[in-house]
Structure 1
């Protein structure tokens, strides 16, 4: 079962901010069937979050490593079919690197997975540094 207990400090990523690490204190643990839910009080906003057991971590470095693996898995998925300058240009022409579905910074959220993939491919294929 769960080796977490009420009062433990834990780290998690909230669905609306998938690559932002949050921390909080466990205030409640509930088991419903095969699922274990953890209620967490955010350390900064003091808001409450209901998370599944498998979505929380003991250390900040542990969740950051998981999020980095997940992010670069998505980047590599974008890169797998792009091998030439022509492929890269077609991808950039066909794909807006902004996620227009969710208002965020300056009205829209950037598609960082595609931007990072394009940056890496520009370096690999053309030797061009696009920045960070």
Structure 2
């Protein structure tokens, strides 16, 4: 991992969200309350939309492509975690019966990893294309 310094423009996933990437400028470094870790304070946006994020250095990236690649890897891992115990049509139907995979437009905590897993499993197990 490269070292970062004040003034660097960086990319990251705010609050450790898995599917969102943002960028800003490091304005300072601070110690955590327990004094065990250092984190970067990153300023993003302008005017009333300006925000500050506190991000550990291991979650910072120099380029947007690097950040997006890491987010895609995390997402893929989570999809595979959903899929790991579903091997048959019966398993898939039980999963669908016990889990809500519908999209709630007002809910930021959506079920995309579950939806992607179900779509892939429907194709793998049944040969059915559910869409994109």
Global fold match (TM > 0.5): yes
- TM-score band, normalised by shorter chain: 0.7 to 0.9
1:37 maps to which residue?
39
2:3 maps to which residue?
3
Report the 3-state secondary structure (helix = DSSP H, G, I; strand = E; otherwise coil) of the residue aligned with 2:115: helix
TM-score by length of structure 2 reads 0.85
**C-alpha deviations, 1:27-62, integer Å up to 9, x for none?**
001245341110101146321111111111111111
Q: Which has the higher strand share?
A: 1
Instruction: Structure 2 unaligned segments of length 5 or more: list them.
Output: none
Note closer, same or farther for the CA distance 1:9–1:115 as it changes in structure 2 (3 Å cut): same
**Alpha-carbon distance between aligned partners in 1 of 2:40 and 2:108, rounded to the nearest angstrom:** 31
Q: How many residues are aligned here?
A: 128
**Alpha-carbon distance between aligned partners in 2 of 1:96 and 1:106, rounded to the nearest angstrom:** 15
2:20 maps to which residue?
20
1:53 maps to which residue?
57
**Alpha-carbon distance between aligned partners in 2 of 1:105 and 1:85, rounded to the nearest angstrom:** 28
Report the 3-state secondary structure (helix = DSSP H, G, I; strand = E; otherwise coil) of the residue aligned with 2:23: strand
Counterpart check, 1:131 vs 2:131? yes
Counterpart check, 1:111 vs 2:111? yes
Report the 3-state secondary structure (helix = DSSP H, G, I; strand = E; otherwise coil) of the residue aligned with 2:25: strand
TM-score by length of structure 1 reads 0.85
The runs of at least 4 consecutive aligned structure 1 residues that moved more than 6 Å come to none
Report the 3-state secondary structure (helix = DSSP H, G, I; strand = E; otherwise coil) of the residue aligned with 1:24: strand
